[in-house]
Amino acid sequence: MKTQKSKFRKYRFGLIAITAMTSFLTISSHAQISCTAKAPSQVAAGQAFHLTFELNERADQLPPPTFANFRYLGGPDQQMSSYTSFVNGQVKSSQSYNYTYTLVADKEGTFTLPATTFVVKNQQVKSNPITITVSASSQNQSSSNARQSTNAQQVQGFNKNDFFIKATVSNSNPYVGEQVIVSYKLYLGPQAYRYSSRITSRPTAQGAWTYDLKAKDDEIAKKEEIIEGKKFVVLDMYSIAVYPQKSGKLTVSPLDANLVVQVLVQQQRSRSNDIFDFFFSDPFSGGNRAQNIDLNLSSNPVTINARELPTTNKPADFSGLVGDFKLSAKLSRDKLNANDAANLSLTLSGSGNLQYIEPLDFHFPSDIVVHDPEIRDNIQTPLSGVSGSRTFEYVLIPRAEGDYVIPSTSFSYFDKRKGSYVTLNTPEFKLNVDKGTSDNTTSFSSANKTDIKRMGSDIRHIKMNVSPRLHETVFFASPFYWAGLFLPVGLLILFIILLRKKIKSRRNIVLLRDKKASKTARKRLRKAEKLLLKKQDEAFYVEISKVLWGYIGDKFHIPPAELSLETARRKLSERHIAEDAIKVFTDTLQDCEYVRFAPSADITPEKMYERTFNFITGIEKELKNGRPS
């Protein structure tokens, strides 16, 4: 009996231990989201500095810029950084999300920035508090930099020039609109035992579109290269695709990165009794101590000399794109009834600047209502360049029966390999439309055969001396007779009037564009909002431009060929729109163009979205309040 009790006690303690371990592991598994605040420990009064919050997950909600004892200048500047580490011959990569605020200290003293709360995946995550000492001058900062430089020089055999970033360009003399790949490689000298890198400033190119190119984790290239007798480890750090938008010399700014190099320093144990020397020494490296050296690296700038495209045999409908494309088009069905819908899909695929392919110019018959196409992208950005496809989906609704022809349309681009312009054409589509079942029609049916009964013989004899039925009701010339005679005619005339009015309204494309202008703008704003949430700033600014130009063109009946800032100002003035609203429209468009080529901290996507939304809603209110048209 005692033996059983003792066994039960052993099992009980074992179960308690397992339960406690499980609870510990469960709690640990939920503590995966981290937030670290970073700022200089010493700054000078009046000196601007950066406060950076580094998270390993994207924040859903950012805290308001309230920092006691410090003056807020700007931010947060958001940046996703890629980390690549090389440890014992293995390459590992990860990502972090940085939110940087710019602050300035106006008075001397020691101040503590309390923990800041971020919302990540519907969870509240707090950062660590930071203590900053504000001095009267920048001597502390300069002495700190001097100490770091001295530490690097004290490491025997360490040469900071053995660590650098080299930028190379696939083609330094491209055509305007041609894709150019700029690759950034990180060179690690022989002193590196371990390292970690973080991109602090990404390259930009004024007068060109740029796209980040991403490699999969298993595609990160690593090789060895010998330069002047030294063996370097070379890794692909970053790549971008550049599309020049004008001829002449274009400069791609350098890529800046922070590199922490871990080197081995010979350890003399007899001179140190510090217990931490034991933990920081590496038993597999002969007892040497690992020391971290912080380096700030910048790549060389890249110069591109863009050439104008040839003018010989240049098509009138040239898209401005350079690359290699294929065009396919498909009509979902070629036979349908009036008021039914058919889908016309057009897909352009290949390699090139796919994201800026505009819908092709189809000349649809006037009796076919065509909605704005839905655009679907399937675009990949590997290190080899941008490729994929863009699909335009049109919805066609014929309003009347008949045989329609959708003419062929074309797409022209410049093929560098052939050295000439190429024009792709869609096939001509034929659409057979039958009368809709919903139309009002007059039909007649034959008499029911059961109404005619055989009377026993073919001819009945005439009865004589039969008195007439004086009180029999006569239908002819009665009110029911006249009602039955003229009511169908009246209904038919009313139906014809309503049908003609409906057809005239459908054919009035100007009126149709006016009615759907606000609806189309809201739809495009929703798409811009999705791009804003995904932090795709480049595509966001392009979509905001489309929202404004599309709304102005539809609402004020401006043909695409005449759409310009001057025409838009004139049309807005003619409708007596306030000058402030006109200025918001022009400033927003100009800011969209400016921020694509030269990003500014003063112009944020959130402000741009708010200005666009307020402009459209303001115009709608003014027009509804009785502004003359």
Q: pLDDT tens digit string along 434-472?
A: 987 654 433 333 333 333 333 344 444 445 555 555 455
Using alpha carbons only, give the angle 264, 270, 276 rounded to the nearest 5 degrees: 55
For 308-335, the pLDDT digits (tens) are 999 889 998 898 899 999 999 999 999 9
pLDDT at 139 over 50: no
Among the ranges given (79-83, 239-243, 262-266), the one the predictor scored with the smallest mean pLDDT: 79-83
Torsions phi, psi for 493 (to 5 deg): -65, -45
Looking at per-residue confidence, does 483 or 258 come out higher?
Answer: 258
Q: What is the three-class DSSP state of 622?
A: helix
Q: Check if the beta carbon of residue 388 is closer than 8 Å to that of residue 379.
A: yes
pTM: 0.47
For 141-160, the pLDDT digits (tens) are 444 444 444 444 455 567 88
Query: How far apart are the C-alpha atoms of 292 and 196, rounded to whole Å?
Result: 10
Torsions phi, psi for 296 (to 5 deg): -105, 120
pLDDT of residue 439: 46
Q: What is the dihedral of CA 347, 348, 351, 354, to 10 degrees?
A: -100
Task: Indicate the residue type of 356.
Answer: Y
Looking at per-residue confidence, does 266 or 337 come out higher?
Answer: 337
For 95-104, the pLDDT digits (tens) are 677 788 878 8
Q: Check if the beta carbon of residue 47 is closer than 8 Å to that of residue 105.
A: yes
pLDDT of residue 354: 86
Among the ranges given (163-177, 276-290, 294-308), the one the predictor scored with the smallest mean pLDDT: 276-290
Task: Indicate the residue type of 522.
Answer: R
Query: How far apart are the C-alpha atoms of 41 and 115, rounded to whole Å?
Result: 16
pLDDT at 621 over 70: yes
Label residues 501-537 b or e (16+ Cβ within 10 Å = b). Answer: eeeeebeeeeeebbeebbebbeebbeebeebbeeeeb
Q: What is the DSSP letter of 447?
A: P
pLDDT of residue 80: 64
Average pLDDT on 339-365 reads: 89
Q: How deeply is 612 buried, as exposed, middle or buried, from its count of CB atoms within 10 A (0-12, 13-18, 19+)?
A: buried
For 583-595, the pLDDT digits (tens) are 888 888 877 776 7
Query: How far apart are the C-alpha atoms of 549 and 558, rounded to whole Å?
Result: 10
For residue 349, how many other CB atoms are within 10 A of its CB? 17
